[in-house]
Chain A
């Protein structure tokens, strides 16, 4: 022990909270040695494939497997008849069959799965299965689903959920009334790491281990065990390396199929989707149609909103009911709004099923309310920036559900900080090349060299948004973490164990930062991520920094307090006064310091805790209640260059200021901001799944366009750091906000450019297509 006369360190040491240590899996990922779920195999492994419906709606008359069984190398075929447990699964309601047995409800619905020695044999076997269908007339119109004119396409009915919100004075009116109808196309998460899993059956067939890329190991286990007819403890899930998620891995895809095949043959089976199959195999962002009317005073203060929102959930419910509630409860945006009448429907059709995607309902609502704010600004003769400032929500304001916003709510700060960021210094069309010619890469249309610089017009647009964090509507939302001290030859290591899915966001970087800060020990090991510890909840809803971060923080805090007790007893100190400073345990009374890691040597401490956020409530028939946990805010300003004649757009710059609470790892926060904005830009001008008569027409990366290096502009970002006293680490989730209001900001900028060019285009639909601009 040494007594050091030294003041408390104020700058966090590298690796602690507030710094940006590198990812612990970074070197493996850049060297290609990191094992993604599609890289995992096993000796004697078979390969599984899925037979899918070619029809959006049809009755299955017969399934003939005889030809498939005759193919040498086919080892197992399973259909609905082979599901030993529950025949259906689903996140909120279990309405989706493991395999369709009587009716198929979307193009791509699984009908059978087959395992063979080799992928090619498996594909041939699958093609040899003969399914006889009676084709039915699909339900493809969301309004028709609401109308009640069609027979139910599913026993649960054609309306998944209807919810109304009536708040304040429903009859209130304003001096200024503006309205519009907005459409949002179906977006794909398009993670790069395709669905893949490896199932390893226990000898005896009483249990199974599944290595899979997922967002929520325990929920997967719950659904898999039910369908297999197993107790949950006999289903062990291990996180396979996850190549991105963005919501698409919240639902089951191949998990049950892979397990069924493996159990059938008592051999390991792996499955891996192709890109085309992936478009069919996971849920998408809901396409939506939103009518919205704003009433305001003459000087632009919102008096009332009215809205009707229709979300097309596709064939199965997935999380549609929760997506809908996000959309309608956040319909006012980050603005004060005393009165509201909002109706929302999530409906069932024979389209591809929809569910979670980054932003989860808030995205669709935001495109509508932000488009409305620009209309309101124009109607009141106020600048789009000023009208947002005038209505900006702050802490203590209420949602239209009556729920007070208790978190820090720096909407005005987000707006002002974004506005303070410099506009692009390059002129419209970019700087000329050294030879004096135009640089085509700086023009809309890029390498196509189609735009004429003289025709290009620059526009600026704003988008601001609110996002609820964590799960809502009285859901028992918790995360589990275990912390233990382990002696090793090179000193004490902190071992952290959790089931938190690392999908790329960087929780594996953050968790050790928390442990280093709380315990003062730099050596932190993350134990395998699997179901051998309690649930962490899903890596979604911007919740893991708050929830699993909260659990790791709590577990480390419990361990630290036990360490303090033992150290205090050994040294004759008062345990209650001890604190961690850097890597030292400090006794303020004596001024003594101990190296924390050294002091923990020989201490056998192992603690597992659960962290819960404060409870939320259901909403009543008028949509009133406190359904949400917490809120985060962000502002975006987009600058675009548009060729009005050709309908071409180049996004030149996105500026943003985001309410992050506290940046625990600033580099990771910037990564979330830039990545989220890319997805928001994609929805604004590029990305849409096209279905014609219920058949996907662009389920590949040639036709489904993703933003590339050339499509993404520079992002200027300011982090608004006002630590939230309600958050365990002061930090808000940062994953979703970037992709919410970046979309309407880009569209507003296009409208601004077109207005300058004298073109009147409503652009009430995303993604904006060239024809929406120039025709």
Chain B
């Protein structure tokens, strides 16, 4: 399938008094037309900074993209003027964030916030924009749109606000939506509603989704392909079935083993990953995961493992990728 967004060799750093933080450290990934791709990892792994880099919203002056290309529909976003970039944001690439209350303006009605985008990006008249806004609300499952448009963000529940964010992200018919932890702040029954909504809209409208999350369960249900990030790098990538069925990186394996699962017999003891993620301003030589890895060999502490092919569509950055035990065997 046609590649929509391609990130090549992206390096994003933050220059602080404590040193240079290598938040995103040379990553490459892509999103094809209409598919849902996940960037999954724990806090500080660089997944959110990756998304902000795509939108060129990394906070300057501390943060900067020091290397790489971000090709969207073949154009390098890093080479665009700020003016041109503004037309990409919101119009060609929509965004959904974790906490909708902080991304919505509390003193403007929902209607104003929805129609503003339409008027600015699509040159609609007030009346056209109003009609389209009602349509968008009904698309995301908010009935009685005309009345709801006159209300303010605080008059909506968390789940409803996230629906409004989705409506805003979809308003200009983008080809891609970046969703950064879209359901993390929501309760599990509301999370299910929002994710089902995103999935059905993505299918119906053919919009691609880059889903950024720490939740392995959400990824399993909704992503076509998965990138696992650790300490600023992608350590494994594959189809969701491959990643979950046959993880080939010790970090992925460790993550999957450490979570209790409702569909499995209860284990007497969980198997956590020992230690904690490294300080991104003082990364160890060699593989960043080596200090926590159960399968570490001397080579891991000296040489950074590149992403090597395990099978078609499945790569892992581990020297021992092919020799690791299987998940099912290991979890008994």
Please say whether chains A and B are actual partners in one complex: no
**B interface vs A, CB < 8 Å?**
none
**A interface vs B, CB < 8 Å?**
none
